[in-house]
Amino acid sequence: MMPKAKMDNQVIGYKDLAAIPKDKAILDIERPDLMIYGPHFNYTPLDLSELPRSRELSDGSVRRLSEELSQREEVVQKLQKEKEHLVELSQLAIEDLQSEEEKVNLLTKERAKLQVQAENFRCLLDQERHQRGELEKTSRKLEGDSRSTIQNLGEMEMMRSSLEELLRKMQL
């Protein structure tokens, strides 16, 4: 059988108890006097003898890291300049875009006006075609009437001349 422990009036197994973090707040523990405290870092005499040598290594590492840091700072400065340049280009592009949008809006308005004018001209053209058709119809009618009138005149002239001849014959 697995050993059990009691916590907050609940029975928990030792595996669950072992899962509780070691640095749990003291206020959460009922009996802090039973907790074992130890230093976070333990140095052995062997570790202490290697300290001067590790300092030499760390000085080289510090120099290398300093150089790397300065290189990265240069890269950051270059990127910052590039960012500023891109922001300027972006601002110019936005201004150009706004200018072009204004032009498009103006041209759209002009196009609408021209479309209205074109529609008006189409209506006028249709009216003119209709009037021209009516004029041609009237003209053809008048030409027909004129021909018939000329024929009637010709016939009347012949009748008159025959009547005049008849009158002359009668007077004689």
* pLDDT tens for the chain, residues 1 to 172: 555 555 566 666 666 656 665 555 544 455 555 555 555 555 555 555 555 555 556 777 888 888 999 999 999 999 999 999 999 999 999 999 999 999 999 999 999 999 999 999 999 999 999 999 999 999 999 999 999 999 999 999 999 999 999 888 888 7
pTM value?
A: 0.41
Q: Is residue 169 part of a domain?
A: no
Tell me if 166 is assigned to some domain: no
Contact 30, 19 (CB under 8 A): no
* Domain assignment of residue 165, yes or no: no
- Residue 167 resides in a domain: no
Q: Is residue 55 part of a domain?
A: yes
80 inside domain? yes
CA distances (Å), origin 156, targets 11, 143, 153, 159, 161: 143, 19, 5, 5, 8
Beta strand residue intervals within 82-152, DSSP E: none
Report the length, in residues, of the chain: 172
Is 168 contained in some domain? no
**What is the C-alpha to C-alpha distance for residues 47 and 13, in angstroms, rounded to an integer?**
39
36 within domain boundaries: yes
- Parent domain of 141: 4-43+50-160
Please tell me the total count of domains within the chain. 1
